């Protein structure tokens, strides 16, 4: 039996280490593109109206903006607008 | 126990008329639902396409093929047909390629794979209207994140009116359609990949076939039946896709994103040409039917070789 055939099956399927790293990087980019809009949705949900339309965009909501969101959700659940 | 679970005799035929009646009883609800909600609308659309129809949907005499000739003479219809074909080809090809790549990576053993699989479901699990509105928000020329992100990675200079531009609107919508379609496609292909026998890979290893060659020479041919189904489903869904375009541009600017579904909607519910709209629906049905027959026949013929 040749030496190569003695490698674990997952290594055989994955190929060379350079190819593996390139594949991982490309996969990370694809996943980032898939997930990024949801990150925007989540942060938008936690920001106040002024922060939503700010440029450059606010990627991580300020503390008081999160408070504002919590208050909005609480008021919404109570039926108050 | 074995004999009770898997009776040797035929379950319906050998049980006599009473068993047959029970079987028919089980089938009737599904058959009635199919007749009412599938067959009747299809037949009614065919009927409407051959009649003059007023704005309230009432038929006013036989029109023959008049609705079809009126639609086929319309340059906007021909432009929409071409755009629909382009939209379908681009979205399905890119979706299948990306879906295959994602499935191949997710099929390998690595830590965190289950979590990434769950993440992958997000665009699919969310409402299409919500995700489309999310992209509309991101593509906003004044405060959208898309321009900012592109500038950050060096792919854009200024602000772009993505949805107001005849150049960028359709490509952006194609991208959204791809973004929505990749997760289900990847999961279908992943299911196919997991069904491939590992002994084949062991045999390939003996022949020193590895990496990309292993994928293209062994995995891809074995996946052909799954790819066939995935492409067929994607073509049908993408060709009929309506919400993304309607929510974002309603076929504009100046009709540059009008595909057959939006053209049909405009005809039926804005111009109140119900007969012509029904004719477009019939043409779309026939196009998809012909494609499905040719594609499945060619695919199964290749598989049989």
Mutate to test the interface with A, among B106, B184, B211, B212 (most CBs of A within 10 A): B211
Confirm if A10 and B108 have CB atoms less than 8 A apart.
yes
Confidence (pTM):
0.82
Give B-chain residues touching A5 at CB under 8 angstroms.
Answer: 202, 205-206
The CA-atom distances, in angstroms, between B101 and each of B7, B110, B142 are: 44, 15, 35
* Residue B116 reports pLDDT greater than 60: yes
B137: which chain A residues are within 8 Å (Cβ-Cβ)? 40, 44
The predicted structure's pLDDT at residue B13 = 52
Which residues make beta-bridge pairs with B53? Answer: B59
Q: In this model, does residue B75 exceed pLDDT 90?
A: yes
pLDDT at A4: 41
d(CA B267, CA A27): 43
The size of the A-B interface in CB pairs under 8 A is 85
Rounded Cα–Cα distance for residues B263 and B269 (Å): 10
CB contact under 8 A, A53 and B98: no
Confidence bin at B87 (pLDDT 50/70/90):
very high
Query: What is the reported pLDDT for B167?
Result: 87
Structure tokens given for B17: 């008329």
Query: What is each CA distance from B221 to B202, B204, B228, in whole angstroms?
Result: 17, 14, 11
Bigger pLDDT: B213 vs B242: B242
d(C-alpha B292, C-alpha A26), whole Å: 33
Does position B63 have pLDDT exceeding 80, yes or no?
yes
Distance CA(A52)–CA(B262), nearest Å, equals 31
Query: Which residue would you say has higher pLDDT here, B148 or B3?
Result: B148
Cα separation of B238 and A24, whole Å? 29
Mean pLDDT over all residues of chain B?
Answer: 87
Model confidence pLDDT, tens digit, residues B171-202: 999 999 999 999 999 999 999 988 888 888 88
- B134 to A40: CB separation less than 8 angstroms, yes or no: yes
**What was the pLDDT predicted at A6?**
44
Distance CA B236, CA B241 (A): 8
Each residue's pLDDT tens digit, B244-279: 999 999 987 888 999 999 999 999 999 999 999 999
Nearest CA in chain B to A33: B179
Residue B68 has pLDDT above 60, yes or no: yes
Q: What percent of chain B has pLDDT over 90?
A: 52
Could you say which DSSP state residue A45 is in? H
Interchain CB distance below 8 Å, A35 and B119: yes
Please tell me the predicted confidence (pLDDT) of residue B8. Answer: 53
Is this complex scored with an ipTM above 0.85? no
Q: What average pLDDT does the segment B207-220 reach?
A: 80
Q: Name every chain A residue with its beta carbon within 8 A of the beta carbon of B145.
A: 40, 57
Q: Which of A13, A33, A52, A61 to mutate to test the interface with B (most CBs of B within 10 A)?
A: A13
At residue B10, does pLDDT exceed 80? no
pLDDT of residue A11: 56
Q: Which residues of chain A have pLDDT under 50?
A: 1-7
Q: Is A79 helix (H, G, I), strand (E, B) or coil?
A: coil
Q: Rg (Cα) of chain B, in Å, rounded?
A: 25
pLDDT, greater one: B107 or B72: B72
Of B236 and A21, the one with more pLDDT: B236
In sequence order, the 6+-apart residues with CB closer than 8 A to the CB of B247 are B129, B132, B133, B136
Question: Cα distance from B114 to chain A (closest Cα, Å)?
Answer: 14
A 29-48 near B (Cβ less than 8 A)? 30-31, 33-38, 40-41, 44
Dist. CA A35–CA B119, nearest whole Å: 7
Task: Write out pLDDT tens, residues B129-179.
Answer: 999 998 998 888 887 888 888 888 777 767 778 888 888 899 999 999 999
Q: What is the pLDDT of residue B14?
A: 56
| pLDDT score for B209 | 77
| pLDDT value of residue B302 | 76
Q: Based on the number of CB atoms within 10 Å of its own CB, is B148 exposed (0-12), middle (13-18) or buried (19 or more)? A: middle
From the number of C-beta atoms within 10 Å of its C-beta (0-12, 13-18, 19+), residue B77 rates as: buried
Give the range among B6-20, B23-37, B120-134 with minimum mean pLDDT.
B6-20
Residues of A with CB below 8 A from B205's CB? 4-5, 7, 9, 12
């Amino acid at each position: 039996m040749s030496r190569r055939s003695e490698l674990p099956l997952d290594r055989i399927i994955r190929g060379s280490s350079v190819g593996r790293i390139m594949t991982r990087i490309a996969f990370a980019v694809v996943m980032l593109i898939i997930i990024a809009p949801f990150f925007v949705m989540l942060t938008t949900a936690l920001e106040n109206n002024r922060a939503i339309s700010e440029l450059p965009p606010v990627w991580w909501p300020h503390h008081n903006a999160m408070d504002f969101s919590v208050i909005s959700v609480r008021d919404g659940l109570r039926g108050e607008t | 126990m074995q004999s009770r679970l898997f009776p040797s005799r035929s379950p319906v035929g050998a049980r006599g008329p009473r068993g047959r009646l029970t079987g028919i009883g089980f089938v009737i609800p599904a058959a009635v639902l199919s007749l009412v909600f599938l067959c009747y609308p299809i037949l009614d659309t065919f009927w409407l396409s051959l009649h003059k129809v007023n704005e309230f949907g009432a038929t006013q005499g036989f029109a023959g093929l008049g609705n079809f000739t009126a639609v086929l003479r319309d340059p906007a219809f021909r432009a929409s047909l071409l755009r629909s074909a382009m939209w379908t080809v681009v979205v399905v090809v890119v979706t299948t390629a990306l879906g295959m790549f994602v499935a191949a990576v997710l099929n390998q053993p690595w830590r965190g794979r289950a979590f990434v699989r769950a993440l992958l479901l997000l665009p699919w699990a969310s409402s299409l209207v919500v995700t489309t509105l999310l992209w509309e928000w991101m593509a906003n020329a004044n405060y959208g994140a898309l321009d900012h992100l592109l500038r950050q990675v060096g792919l854009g200079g200024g602000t772009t009116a993505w949805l107001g531009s005849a150049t960028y609107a359709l490509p952006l919508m194609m991208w959204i359609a791809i973004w929505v379609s990749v997760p289900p496609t990847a999961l279908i292909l992943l299911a196919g990949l997991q069904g491939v026998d590992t002994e084949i890979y062991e045999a390939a290893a003996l022949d020193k076939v590895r990496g990309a060659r292993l994928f293209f020479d062994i995995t891809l041919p074995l996946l052909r039946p799954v790819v066939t189904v995935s492409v067929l489903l994607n073509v049908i869904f993408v060709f009929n896709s309506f919400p993304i375009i309607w929510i974002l541009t309603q076929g504009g600017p100046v009709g540059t994103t009008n595909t057959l579904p939006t053209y049909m909607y405009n005809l039926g519910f804005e111009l109140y040409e119900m007969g012509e709209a029904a004719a477009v629906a019939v043409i779309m049905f026939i196009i998809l039917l012909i494609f499905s027959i040719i594609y499945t026949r060619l695919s199964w013929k290749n598989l049989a070789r």
